[in-house]
Structure 1
Amino acid sequence: MNKERKSAGWLVVDKIPPSPKFKVLLIPGLMGSDFVFSKLMNNSALEEAGVHLIGGNPPGFKGNLLPDDFDFHISSYAASVEAIAEAETVNLILGHSFGANVLIEVAFRRKFKGKLMLISPSLCRDAETKDMKMLDKYSRNKLLKGLMWSVTYASIKSAFTPYFKDPDDLASVVRDAKLIPKKIAAEIFLGYFDYLIRHPDLDERLITTTVPVYYLRGDKDDIGFTQKNRETLKKSSLVKLFEVPNASHFAMNDNPEEVARLIIEMLNS
C-alpha cells in the first residue's frame, strides 16, 4: 500500500518512477478515492515514461477533513485543485466523473496553465443516470434526505459492483466510500448537482478553455453524451475527443493501458 500524505488540504498517495519527468494529479468521482486509479498507478508504461502519479483525495473524500468554511461549490473544489496543482507543480490533471466536472470549471477559470484530461463528466443534469437524478430530487426534501442517504450507504456495494469485478478491489472501493460521513457526502453530491443545474450547457463552458483538453468516454459509458455535445466540443481546437474501447464509466479501471497511452501522448505533445 502506498503511504498517504497531506498536501494543500488533500490526502494523497504517490507512485514515483525511478526517473520522474512529469507529474500527474488524479481526481476521483463522487464517493471515490485514490483507489479507483490503482490499475493506472500500477501501469508499467507510465512508470517507464517517467510519470509521477499523485492519487488525490480532495477535501471531504476518504474521510479527509474539510475547512470549516467550505461551501461544497464546484468552484470551491476548482480552487482547491488549482492550489494543490501549484503546490505539487503538476503538468497534467486527470479527473474522473465528478472530478472531470471540477476540471471543466478549472478550464473555465483559466488559472491552471497545464493540461487537462477529463474522463466521463456530465455536461448537463440530463446526462446523469436515472438513479442519480432521483437521489438529487429526494435529497432536496428535508423529510426524505436522511432516509435517502441511509439507503444510499446501504447500497454502495451494489452501486460499485458493475465496475469492480474483483472482490478485493470492490471491498477497497466500498471501504473508502464509507469513510465519507453521510452528511458530507450529501453536501458534495448536492453541490455537484447544483452546478449541473446552474450550467445546463457545460460543453459550451468547456470550449472556452485556453489549455489542451483530452475528453475521454468509455464505449460502454452510461453517462449521456449527445451529438450536440460532440459538435460543440469540436468547435475548440484545444479539445480532443476519445472513445476508450472495452470500457464503462470507469475507463481507467476497465482499460488502463489505453488511458495510460493517452496520458503519455498528451504529456509529450
Structure 2
Amino acid sequence: MTATQHRPLRHREQAGWAIVENEPATTRHRVLMLPGLFCTAEFYTAMLADPALADAGVHAMAADPPGFAGRPVPAGFDYSVERYAAMVEDFAAQEAVDLIVGHSYFANVGIEIAARGDYPGRLLLLSPSFSRDDEEHDLISLDEAGHIPVLGTLVWLGINPTLKKGMRDRLPSERFTELFQQMKRNPHAANRHLVAGFFDHLRRHGELATRLAGTDNVVWVGRGDRDEVGFTAQEQAAIEASPHVALKTIPGAAHFSITDTPHEVVELILALLAFRPADPGQAR
C-alpha cells in the first residue's frame, strides 16, 4: 500500500461510544477527536480521510460519546461538563490517547480536563468559550428559554428549522445536507440538557481563560481568523501569559474549522504532536 493509498474509514463501538477512525499502516500516535454541540463524529470525516494523518502514523478516532448522536447515557447521568471530562479521561486512558482534540462544546470539556490535571497527554481546543458573554446570542437565548417550562418546550420542539437556517452559511455547501442530518440525530431533550449543563458550567466559573492558563498540560487553543465566538483582550492576555498554553490562529476558518479548513486543522494536530518544548516550563 503506497503513501497515497489508505484503508477506508472504519466504524466500531466501544463502551457505549461510537467511533469512526482511520487505519494507518503503522501507529505512532493515537488522537481522539470530539464534536461540538448538536454535532457528531461525522463532522471529522474529511480530517480522518486526510492522508497526512496516516502518512505520519496517526491513528485518529472521531467519537460520539453517550449523549451525542442519539446514543443513550448511563442511569442518573447529569450532562455536566465535569461528568463529560471524567468520561473522556476514562476513554482516553482505555484507548491510550496521546492527544485530545475538542471542538466547541468539547473544547470546553477539554478546559476542564486540563484544569483537573489527571490526563497526561496534550490537548487541542478548537474555539472554546471562555465565558458566557463570549457565546453566540442564539445559543444564549436558547439556554434562557430552556429554563422556562412551557416556553422552553415549545422552543426546543421548533429548533430544527431555526437550526437549519442558522447553519446554512456555516457548513460546506457540498456537505450541508449530510451534516445537517447528523445534527438532527440527537433527541431535543438530550440537547436541552447539554446546553443547560454547558451554561451552568460557565456560570459557576465565570471566566475560564485563567482556569486554563494554570494547567501543566501542553495545550493549544485554535481559533478561526473569522470565528464567531467571542474572545476578549483579557482572555487573550491570560492565555498568552500561560507557560503551557499557546494560541493558534487558523487562516480561512470560522467557528467550524473542522469543516471549513480540515487540512489546516490536521496540520495543527501534526505540529502539536511533533512539538517539543524548549524546557519543561515552556509550551510554545
TM range (shorter): over 0.9
Match of 2:69 in 1: 62
Q: Are positions 1:80 and 2:72 aligned together?
A: no
**Displaced runs of 4+ in structure 1, greater than 3 A?**
none
In structure 2, give the amino acid aligned to 1:107.
A
Contact 2:172 2:259 in 1 (8 A): no
In structure 2, give the amino acid aligned to 1:158.
K
* TM-score (structure 2 length as normaliser): 0.91
1:169-180 residue pairs with structure 2 within 5 A? 169-180=175-186
Compare 96-105 and 251-260 and name the one that shifted more: 251-260
Contact 2:110 2:123 in 1 (8 A): yes
Q: Are positions 1:130 and 2:137 aligned together?
A: yes
Larger relative contact order (CA 8 Å, sep ≥ 6): 1
Instruction: Determine which of 236, 242, 245 is the counterpart of 1:239.
Output: 245
Contact 2:103 2:127 in 1 (8 A): yes
Match of 2:191 in 1: 185
Match of 2:117 in 1: 110
5+ residue gaps, structure 1, are none
Identity %: 35
Distance 1:255 1:62 in 2: 23
Q: Are positions 1:201 and 2:207 aligned together?
A: yes
Match of 1:163 in 2: 170
Task: Please give the per-residue CA displacement for 1:8-38, whole angstroms capped at 9, x wherever unaligned.
Answer: 3321111121222111000100000011112
Instruction: Determine which of 228, 234, 257 is the counterpart of 1:251.
Output: 257
1:234 shift after superposition: 1.4
Match of 2:281 in 1: none
Contact 2:9 2:23 in 1 (8 A): no
Task: Please give the per-residue CA displacement for 1:54-84, whole angstroms capped at 9, x wherever unaligned.
Answer: 0111111111111011101100000010011
Q: Are positions 1:45 and 2:52 aligned together?
A: yes
Distance 1:45 1:121 in 2: 25
1:221-232 residue pairs with structure 2 within 5 A? 221-232=227-238
Structure 1 or 2, whichever has the larger Rg, is 2
Distance 1:214 1:8 in 2: 28
State the number of aligned residues: 268
Match of 2:219 in 1: 213
1:245 shift after superposition: 0.5
Match of 2:35 in 1: 28
The alignment yields a C-alpha RMSD, in angstroms, of: 1.3
In structure 2, give the amino acid aligned to 1:19.
T
* TM-score (structure 1 length as normaliser): 0.96
